[in-house]
Amino acid sequence: MIVTFQSRRENRQEDGRRAWLDARGGSALLNCTVIDISESGAKLAIDGVEQIPENFSLWLSRKGQPRYACRVVWRSFNAVGVTFE
């Protein structure tokens, strides 16, 4: 079931799919979960949010496509909010 709810600027869809964060620089991909997503950003559940760089690529498949360039706009103890650049 997909639930849509209104955010301040646009609709976001609850998602729940597995995704991968590419911090670049040759480091390993990090697993995360897309909590919700819109055309301009997403909320990601991930362990170790304090180690997530300000800018990274978000892969929605293990093959790397689709891929979004992301910038962190907020952090909590187990999630980050990102905007797509």
CB 70 within 8 A of CB 57: yes
- Cα separation, 59 vs 68, in Å, equals 7
CA 7 – CA 72 distance, rounded (Å): 17
Cα(64)–Cα(67) distance, integer angstroms: 6
pLDDT tens for each residue of 23-67: 877 778 899 999 999 999 999 999 888 889 999 999 998 887 889
Supply the pTM of this predicted model.
0.80
CATH for 10-84, among 2.60.40.420, 2.40.10.220, 1.10.1060.10, 3.40.190.10?
A: 2.40.10.220
Kindly report, residue by residue over 56-71, the tens digit of the pLDDT.
999 998 887 889 999 9
Between 72 and 12, the higher pLDDT residue: 72
- Domain spans of the chain, in order of start: 10-84
